[in-house]
Amino acid sequence: MSSAIEQRPSSSTADDTLKQKSRDAGVISGGHLVAKALKNEGVDTIFTLCGGHIIDIYDGCVDEGIRIIDVRHEQVAAHAADGYARQTGKLGVCVTTAGPGCTNAVTGVATAFRSETAMLHIGGQGGMSQHMMGSLQDLPHVDMMRPITKFAAGVRSTERVADMVSMAIREAFNGAPGPSYLEIPRDILDREIDIKTAVVPAPGRYRSSTRSAGDPHDIETLADLLVNAERPAILYGQQVWTARGHEEAVALLRALDIPGYFNGASRGLLPPGDPHHFDRTRSQAFAKADVIVIVGTPFDFRMGYGKRIGRNLKLVQIDMSYATVGKNRDIDLGLVGHPGAILGAVAQAASGRIRNDKRQARQAWMRELTDAERVADEKLQPLFRSNNALIHPYRVAHEINEFLADDTVYIGDGGDVVTISAQAVRPRRPGQWMDPGALGSLGVGTGFAIAAGLAHPEKEVLCYYGDGAFSMTAFDMETANRFKVPYIAVVGNNSAMNQIRYGQIAKYGPERGNVGNLLGNVPYGTFAQMLGGYGEEVRDPAQIAPALQRARESVRKTRMSAVINIWVDPSVYAPGTMAQTMYK
Ligand SMILES: Cc1ncc(C[n+]2csc(CCOP(=O)(O)OP(=O)(O)O)c2C)c(N)n1
Ligand SMILES: [Mg+2]
């Protein structure tokens, strides 16, 4: 299908000629300075939805060769920028217009804030010449964005545009990474200045390395603790992957024979079946360990605020943020810095120092945990293999795990069905697990899928959605198709916001518990067909695997996204949902 716009001949306008002239005259506009600063940071892609306030940034990006990915909702632009940062290890960038462009992006920026993703959100604003006069789409963006960013500021002069972009980027990488917000008024972006008066920090010279190994004395102390431990355990959180400290992290487990647990973006640092990979025995290990090291994840609700870890042990916390170490729970040793640098230094300090008796003790400890993993796994098998006519969500999760290829990036976006999937899905490689993180935002999936496809066109991308989550951002599946980064969408459809529904029924009874949480019975497979891709409804558990396979083949062949809509039993819930652990 070609559109009316594609059929129109391209023509240069009088304005083009004007722009060309000004470029030749040694002048540069604010929008072009934004693009220069982004280029200097190594940014190759921005995620955006257009608006009159920001178009000069696009013009600059065209000159600098920066790819412009335009989406249909700014929430998706922000999630995609976050996802692109997670997938590339570099800064993610989203650009939105003033007013509603900014407010629509808030959820994505806030998600990056709680997930500690380095990202820059550039937002438009009415011209300074109409400051406080009630211009179109005017809002106090900087005030709005401050509590959900590490840095939020407005640019006040065209000369400083590139400098302020670099400043915002530096702040995004300060300590534990996070989002920065920069508001640029329209007349500051559009104004052209003598290029010699512009402040443009040079590539590689406006921020330092983030690989600090902390205090060498503490490295020695931690090495001693680990060398002498008999039942050590390490939990790697999302920072280990974010900061790309995973090689050192894995090497330490192997060198010292320590069981590793992984959460959030660190899932997949070791493949399932690796002798140092553990995922069903965390509470058991934490209850019996003599040394526990928590790396790159805070003591927040996911960790029971640290209360679930016993007191009769040495607890060590390593984090990129000083403010996180020792928060909510006392620790015995805290180190602040880059996880890879610290873990690498610890491995070196401990090298060759484990006594044989200690080595044997921890091998017995690993065997004990491996056996316990097997028992826990066997307990789940009947659910994973359920043949219930009304499809069991555990069966779906299990089938998805079986279906994953070595290079599939798995994204979870939804409530209960996705919580359940965490018990079954084991990504095969680092970086191949994406979830919203501590903000728990529904709707991340589509932006993450686009980002993963753009960052790694050679990989397969699969997003497992709840039906509630899918309907929030699914229209940007068209964006994925338009930019030729199709993905497989699987919807676990229980026609409800089930994770919330469970708690409502438990608290208010069945009469009053089904209020505000029921969704219609929607055949989402036809949604993919409408966008030109493959869609299928699955109501028989035996059809899950073949349907997934058909989706894979279709995505490969047609380069259009597919939706497999699986109708699941709405009366099955995840254990955490039933215990309401997310609120405890
Ligand atoms: C943006 C957003 N709105 C609301 C919530 C609260 N919430 C958490 S789980 C959930 C239900 C999600 O339903 P669905 O995606 O269909 O998954 P299900 O629980 O039904 O498996 C809701 C509404 C949230 N986490 N994020
Ligand atoms: Mg649902």
Please give the pLDDT value at position 3.
Answer: 55
What ligand 1 atom has the least distance to the C-alpha of 413? 15
| 238 Cβ neighbours under 8 A, 6+ residues apart | 115, 116, 263, 264, 265, 266, 296, 297, 437
| Ordered strands of the 260-262 beta sheet | 260-262, 232-236, 291-295, 314-319, 333-336
d(C-alpha 27, C-alpha 355), whole Å: 68
- Tens digits of residue pLDDT in 134-176: 999 999 999 999 999 999 999 999 999 999 999 999 999 999 9
Q: What is the dihedral of CA 114, 115, 118, 122, to 10 degrees?
A: -50
Please give the pLDDT value at position 9.
Answer: 44
| Angle at the Cα of 434 from the Cα atoms of 559 and 533, rounded to 5 degrees | 20
d(C-alpha 233, C-alpha 217), whole Å: 22
d(C-alpha 158, C-alpha 205), whole Å: 21
Element (H, E) at 413: strand 408-413
Does any ligand 1 atom lie closer than 6 A to the CB of residue 494?
A: yes
d(C-alpha 358, C-alpha 225), whole Å: 12
CB 123 within 8 A of CB 101: yes
Please give the pLDDT value at position 10.
Answer: 47
* Matching residue, tokens 């008796």: 357
Instruction: Tell me the CA–centroid distance for residue 349 and ligand 1, in Å.
Output: 46
Element (H, E) at 292: strand 291-295
Please give the pLDDT value at position 5.
Answer: 59
Please give the pLDDT value at position 249.
Answer: 98
DSSP characters for 458-470?
TSEEEEEEEHHHH
Whole-number Cα distances in Å, 141 to 9, 96, 156, 471? 39, 11, 14, 28
What ligand 1 atom has the least distance to the C-alpha of 417? 21
Among protein residues, the one whose CA lies closest to atom 8 of ligand 1: 415
CB 117 within 8 A of CB 87: no
| 49 Cβ neighbours under 8 A, 6+ residues apart | 70, 71, 72, 73, 74, 77, 96, 97, 101, 104
How many helices (DSSP H) and strands (DSSP E) are in the chain? 24, 19
Ligand nearest to the CA of 440: 1
Provide block-wise average pLDDT over 10 residues at a time, the chain (584 residues). 49 51 80 98 98 97 98 98 98 98 98 98 97 94 98 98 98 98 98 97 96 96 97 98 98 97 97 96 96 98 92 96 97 98 98 93 96 97 97 98 98 97 97 97 98 98 98 98 98 98 96 97 98 98 98 98 98 93 86
Instruction: Tell me the CA–centroid distance for residue 468 and ligand 1, in Å.
Output: 6
DSSP state of 538: E
Whole-number Cα distances in Å, 403 to 400, 428, 456? 5, 11, 19
d(C-alpha 316, C-alpha 333), whole Å: 5
Please give the pLDDT value at position 310.
Answer: 87
Among protein residues, the one whose CA lies closest to atom 4 of ligand 1: 442
- Tens digits of residue pLDDT in 511-554: 999 999 999 999 999 999 999 999 999 999 999 999 999 999 99
Please give the pLDDT value at position 20.
Answer: 58
In three-state secondary structure terms, 134 is coil
What ligand 1 atom has the least distance to the C-alpha of 439? 25
Please give the pLDDT value at position 329.
Answer: 96
DSSP state of 65: T
Ligand nearest to the CA of 572: 1
Does any ligand 1 atom lie closer than 6 A to the CB of residue 185?
A: no
d(C-alpha 226, C-alpha 354), whole Å: 9
Instruction: Tell me the CA–centroid distance for residue 482 and ligand 2, in Å.
Output: 28
Please give the pLDDT value at position 299.
Answer: 97
Does any ligand 1 atom lie closer than 6 A to the CB of residue 221?
A: no
**What count of other Cβ atoms lies within 10 Å of the Cβ of residue 577?**
21
d(C-alpha 462, C-alpha 549), whole Å: 12
Structure pTM?
A: 0.96
Altogether, the residues listed in the chain come to a count of: 584
* Strand bridging mode 192-194 / 27-29: antiparallel
Does any ligand 1 atom lie closer than 6 A to the CB of residue 87?
A: no
* Strand bridging mode 179-185 / 562-567: unpaired
